[in-house]
Amino acid sequence: MLRFLVLTSLAALEALADLGPQPRYLEDSHERVVGGEVATPNSWPWQISLQYRSGSSYYHTCGGTLVERGWVMTAAHCVDRNDIALLRLATEATLNSYVQLGSLPPSGQLLPHNNLCYITGWGRTSTGGSLSAQLKQAYLPLVDYTNCTKSDWWGSTVKNNMVCAGGAAESGCNGDSGGPLNCLVNDKYYVHGVTSFVSAWGCNYPKKPTVFTRVSAYLEWMDSVSIQIQNIISHIWSMAEVIYRVVLGGHDLHQTSGREQIIAVSQVINHPEYDKDDINKGYDIALLRLATEATLNSYVQLGSLPPSELILPHNNLCYITGWGHTSTGGSLSDQLKQAYLPLVDHSTCSKSDWWGSYVNNNMVCAGGGAESGCHYDSGGPLNCLFNGQYYVHGITSFVCEHQCNYPKKPTVFTRVSAYIKWMDSVRI
């Protein structure tokens, strides 16, 4: 029997609502190593570029570390960030007056500014408030892409596969994620958006309308995994997965040297305790099984993992490497960059005016000055010198929401030495 499909959100990017600087995973707002310098080609031969397929092209999204010929280590949030999913139900829904299918818009459709739309959900009725016991609705006029991407609105955070709505007293809030933005077109409501994220400053912060995944951008993807999909959510046999690949031995993202090895990812294994909605819980680590084993040579080598539970001292020499943004709001780096980030010990990093309780013992901090990690560095290595050898001591995880090199907010990494036993158990 065919099963009906439910459209929902994979990544609930409902940021924390305090009015102080908040942490964010480096991919949550889409920005390179800040400061630093271009690395000598292949001087960090275990660094990989994790790329995802969109249409017929691949795009860099995160870094990673080759830890065995057939395994790559990266951050869990790197492979848990696509904000649309299809869920197959165990049994078919019964359609009646109370349960009906949502109508999907035509592929690629863009609605005009101020188009009438309603958000519905059981989310919080105010920033920091409690969940609603009853389904609520709010009128959210559409905000066109030109306005929503202005520098004092959402800027480059919003992409053309997203849609904005609201921006005044009413908005989506925590608990609404995954729900529909129902927009009126030709006297009929279509599910034009999937509720995705709001500002960390508050659910209805000025010039920060609620952001939705634009459903019309994903009709072809839904078509590829369903049996029949016309203008309504129809039936499906199985759930689609994002297609990833890794590029090893690379230096320039846009120019090949002939040294690169490109290998598909056959399996993604997130740590079982990872929770995308609880950033300070940690466990931001994943292992990627490669479809074929890498060939080791002068340009592609394994990253050395530290002894289990190793803790390095304050100011230990470390380098972050990656293709991430070179400044907050800047563009990606074509070439692999490196930046010196001295280690910050836990007692300093967890001070109340530093990261406080956001940082736990399974994390490690580095930097805090002019140089830092930034968007698209996520998942990449923190290479630390220990007994005359570089070890991958950290996996780039998160920075301050305000900017990548915010004072007393050093880059935070998953501490690799805390997860050696877990990785060993996975790779057996």
Among 208, 163, 270, CA closest to 401: 208
Tell me whether residue 133 is exposed, middle or buried, using C-beta atoms within 10 angstroms of its C-beta: 0 to 12, 13 to 18, 19 or more: exposed
Sign of CA dihedral 255, 257, 263, 268: negative
Name residue 199's beta-bridge partners. 202
Tell me the catalytic residues. 77, 83, 177
Residues 6+ apart with CB under 8 A from 343: 312, 313, 314, 315, 316, 317, 318, 364, 365, 366, 384, 393
| Torsion angle defined by CA atoms of residues 119, 122, 124 and 126, in that order, rounded to the nearest 10 degrees | 50
Label residues 354-382 b or e (16+ Cβ within 10 Å = b): bbeebbbebbbbbbbeebbbbbbbbbbbb
What distances in angstroms separate CA 180 from CA 113, 124, 167, 393, 416, one per listed residue?
18, 16, 17, 42, 39
CA 221 to chain centre: 19
Question: Is the separation of the CB atoms in 34 and 404 below 8 Å?
Answer: yes
Longest dimension (CA), the chain: 71
146 Cβ contact partners less than 8 Å away, ≥ 6 residues apart = none
For every residue of 251-264, DSSP letters joined together read: SBTTB--S--EEEE
Smallest CA-to-CA distance from 285 within 413, 385, 392, 424 is with 413
Nearest to 188 by CA among 114, 113, 116, 109: 116
Which of 32, 65, 33 lies closest to 49, judged by CA?
A: 65
Which of 396, 421, 393, 427 shows the shortest CA–CA distance to 411?
A: 396
